[in-house]
Amino acid sequence: MSRNRFTGKLCVVTGAAAGIGRETALAFAAEGAEVHAIDRDAAGLAALERGAGIVPHAFDITDAGAVAAFHAALPRLDVQFNCAGIVTVGSLDECSRADWDRALSVNVTSIFLMMQAALPLMIAGGGGSIVNMASVISSVGAAPQRFAYGATKAAVLGMTKSVALDYAGQGIRCNAICASGVETPSMTARIEAMDNPDAARAMFSSRQPVGRMGTPAEIAELALYLGSDASGYMTGSHVIIDGGAKL
């Protein structure tokens, strides 16, 4: 049963058309929030909106003008969950400049733009909570063939701590989620595209001592906790939810 942790709150979720973002947008709405869901996938957002009464916004969050215009139209902002991201595969010598630039743009610059645009609204409203999607592949630890991805997620942790420190006095909290493998549609697509999907799934699952990948719903519940008043004494933290992968 819903605890209505977000009644009267306005929450923004990026990457909301699928996976963790979608699950979190639905969970915020189920607990009473007015949810503004952002993604480039207009069709995915439309399906989400029909099922939950969520307000969809189809645009590219790496576009500074689009991000500014979106926030300018909001009356206030209580919670921002920056979930959108991409996984760039490859080691340093395999990372092209295009790969590097794209990873930085989607995983780092978009969060910079979203947080910067959120600040005036949150400050005017007396505070707010920003939750950033990072990874255990970051400054927490490494994984094979994840050079650009790990670098960008480490940057997310650095930005999170900086914002937490600089704006704590204005009632703004900023925390990050560090997950290991999660069974999202994008993860499933990557597995199914491999030569031996069954072996690939077993490999991804075995990275976690619990023997499986996480679910979007499990990550969503953590995002809701970090966005809610229940985590009011937390800021600048990165919370590891990885099935023991980095023990």
Cβ neighbours for 240, distance < 8 A, ≥ 6 positions apart: 136, 140, 178, 246
Cβ proximity of 24 and 18 under 8 Å: no
| Spatial separation of the C-alpha atoms in residues 68 and 85, rounded to whole Å | 19
Catalytic entry in 149, 167, 225, 233: 149
Contacts of 94 (CB under 8 A, 6+ apart): 145, 147
Q: 225 an active-site residue?
A: no
Terminus-to-terminus CA distance in the chain, angstroms? 33
The arrangement of strands across the sheet holding 55-58 comes to 55-58, 34-39, 10-14, 79-82, 128-133, 172-179, 238-241
Rounded to whole angstroms, how far apart are CA atoms 245 and 210? 8
Residue whose structure tokens are 């072996």: 199
Cβ neighbours, 10 Å, residue 39: 26
Task: Report, as residue numbers or ranges, the catalytic residues.
Answer: 149
